[in-house]
Amino acid sequence: MLVALAGGVGAAKLLKGLAAVHDPADIMAVVNTGDDLVLHGLHISPDIDSVTYALAGLDNAATGWGVVNESWTVAENLRAIGGVTWFQLGDRDLATHLYRTQRLSEGATLSEVTAELAAARGVATRLIPMSDDPVRTRVTLADPGEGAPAEVAFQDYFVRLGHDVAVASLRFEGADRARAAPGVLDAIASAERVVCCPSNPVVSIGPILAVPRVLDALVARRASVVAVSPIVAGAALKGPADRLLRELGYESSALGVARLYAPWAATFVIDEADAALAPAIEELEMRCVVTGTVMSDPAATDALARAVLAA
Amino acid sequence: MLVALAGGVGAAKLLKGLAAVHDPADIMAVVNTGDDLVLHGLHISPDIDSVTYALAGLDNAATGWGVVNESWTVAENLRAIGGVTWFQLGDRDLATHLYRTQRLSEGATLSEVTAELAAARGVATRLIPMSDDPVRTRVTLADPGEGAPAEVAFQDYFVRLGHDVAVASLRFEGADRARAAPGVLDAIASAERVVCCPSNPVVSIGPILAVPRVLDALVARRASVVAVSPIVAGAALKGPADRLLRELGYESSALGVARLYAPWAATFVIDEADAALAPAIEELEMRCVVTGTVMSDPAATDALARAVLAA
Q: What is the pLDDT of residues B165-214, one digit of tens each?
A: 999 999 999 999 999 999 999 999 999 999 999 999 999 999 999 999 99
What is the share, in percent, of chain A residues with pLDDT greater than 70?
100
List CB contacts (< 8 A) between B102 and chain A: 39-41, 83-84
Q: List the single residue in A41, A74, A95 with the smallest CB-CB distance to B78.
A: A95
The predicted-structure confidence for A292-310, as pLDDT tens digits, reads as follows 999 999 999 999 999 999 9
With pLDDT > 90 as the criterion, what percentage of chain A qualifies?
Answer: 95
Query: Element (H or E) spanning A265, and its range?
Result: none
CB B42 to CB A39 under 8 A? no
> What is the CB neighbour count within 10 angstroms for residue B276?
11
- In angstroms, how far apart are the furthest CA atoms of chain B? 59
pLDDT value, residue A238: 87
Contacts of A116 in chain B (CB under 8 A): 82
Just give the CATH number of A2-133+177-310. 3.40.50.10680
CB A4 within 8 A of CB A228: no
Domain spans, chain A: 2-133+177-310, 136-176
Q: Which of A29, A14, A42 is nearest to A181 (CA)?
A: A29
Q: Which CATH code fits B4-8+12-133+177-310? A: 3.40.50.10680
Q: Are B206 and B135 in contact (CB under 8 A)?
A: no
- Among the partner-chain residues A73, A97, A99, the one whose CB lies closest to the CB of B92 is A73
- State the nearest Cα–Cα gap between A231 and chain B, in angstroms: 36
Residue B190: exposure state from Cβ atoms within 10 A (0-12, 13-18, ≥19): exposed
3-state secondary structure of A146: coil
CA distances B228 to B102, B231, B263, B265, B269, Å, are: 36, 9, 15, 10, 5
CB contact under 8 A, A40 and B101: yes
CA distances from A245 to A35, A203, A280 (A): 17, 10, 18
**Count of CB atoms within 10 A of residue A296's CB?**
10
Instruction: Report pLDDT for B237.
Output: 87
Q: Are B259 and B231 in contact (CB under 8 A)?
A: no
Considering only CA atoms, which of B43, B84, B32 is closest in space to residue B207? B32
Distance from CA of A153 to the nearest CA of B (A): 15
Indicate the residue of B41, B43, B105 with minimum beta-carbon distance to A43.
B41
Alpha helices in A57-213 (DSSP H): 73-80, 91-105, 110-120, 154-155, 184-190, 206-210
CA distances from A277 to A33, A227, A253, A254 (A): 32, 15, 9, 7
SS3 A195: strand
For chain B, residues with pLDDT lower than 70 are: none
Cβ distance of B40 and A99 shorter than 8 Å: yes
pLDDT at A237 over 90: no
Contact across the interface for A78 and B99, Cβ inside 8 Å:
yes
Q: In chain B, helix, strand, coil percent, each to 5?
A: 45, 20, 35
- Whether residue A81 and residue B40 make contact (CB cut-off 8 A), yes or no, is no
What residue of A is the nearest CA neighbor of B75? Answer: A95
Residues on B contacting A at a C-beta cutoff of 8 Å: 38-43, 71, 73-75, 77-78, 80-84, 91-92, 94-99, 101-102, 104-105, 116-117, 120-121
**Which residue in A has a C-alpha nearest to residue B95's C-alpha?**
A78
pLDDT band with cut points at 50, 70 and 90 for residue A175: very high
| Cβ A248 vs Cβ A257: under 8 Å | no
Please judge whether A77 and B84 are an interchain contact, meaning their C-beta atoms are less than 8 angstroms apart.
no
